[in-house]
Amino acid sequence: MLKIAYLETDNKELSRLILEGNYKYYSFTSYEYYDRVELDNDEWNTISRVSVDDCGNILGYFSASTNRTQQKITSMSFVKFRYKFNEYGDNDRLESIVGEDLNEFIEEIMTHPILKLVKFSAIKDNPANKTYNKWIEKYGGKRYLYEKSVMLRDGLFYDVWGYYFCRRT
C-alpha cells in the first residue's frame, strides 16, 4: 500500500533503512548527507511516499522535490528495501507490492494537476534505468547523457542519465 511518508514514519527510521541498505546509487549530490532523509510535514516542497505491506513494514521510499512556482519536479528518489524482504516474508509478493506502489507514485507525479515538468538524474550503471526508459515510452520523455559528471563514494566519476518529461497541457 502506498502511504504518505510523514504520516507513516520519520526521518530517523527512513535514514536507518537507507544507511543499512548501503545503496550505491541512492544519492550522488552530497555523500556528507547520504544517510539523512528530511521529511517535511506537508507536501509543498517534497512529495514523499512509503510502500508498506499488510504488517506495516516499510518496503520502499519514493520522493519528488518540487518547485511549484516553476511547476516542476526538480529531483526524485526511489528506494526499494529489498535487503529487508527476507525478514518480512515472501520476496516475490513484497516485490510485487512495492512495484505496484512505485507505479502508482509515478502515475501521481506524471499526472499531477500543477506540476507539468519532471526532471531527475540517475547514474548510468544503475539497473533502475531500465524502468526509467519504460517511463520515457509511456510518458513521452527524453534522456540525455552527461559523461563522467558525478563522483560517487568510491572516488570514481560516473556517467549520468538526465531524464526529462514535460506535459504541455
CATH number at residue 114: 3.40.630.30
Q: Is the pLDDT of residue 31 over 50?
A: no
What's the pLDDT at 35? 55
Nearest to 108 by CA among 65, 58, 165, 47: 47
For 78-123, the DSSP string reads EEE-GGGHHHHS-HHHHHHHHHHHHHHHHHHHHT-SS--EEEEEEE
Domain extent, residue 142, equals 2-166
**pTM of the predicted model as reported, rounded to 2 decimal places:** 0.90
d(CA 66, CA 56): 27
Cell (9 digits) for 95: 516485490
**Beta strands 157-166; 142-151: pairing state:** antiparallel
32-44: per-residue pLDDT in tens?
445 567 888 888 9
75-106: per-residue pLDDT in tens?
999 999 999 999 998 899 999 999 999 999 99
Distances (CA, A) of 32 to 27, 28, 63, 134: 10, 10, 19, 32
Q: Is the pLDDT of residue 116 over 70?
A: yes
Alpha carbon 135 to its chain's center: 13
CB-based burial label for 57 (10 Å; 0-12, 13-18, 19+): middle
d(CA 57, CA 8): 10
List, in order, residues 6 or more apart from 16 with CB less than 8 Å away.
Answer: none
Number of domains in the chain: 1
Q: Is the pLDDT of residue 166 over 80?
A: yes
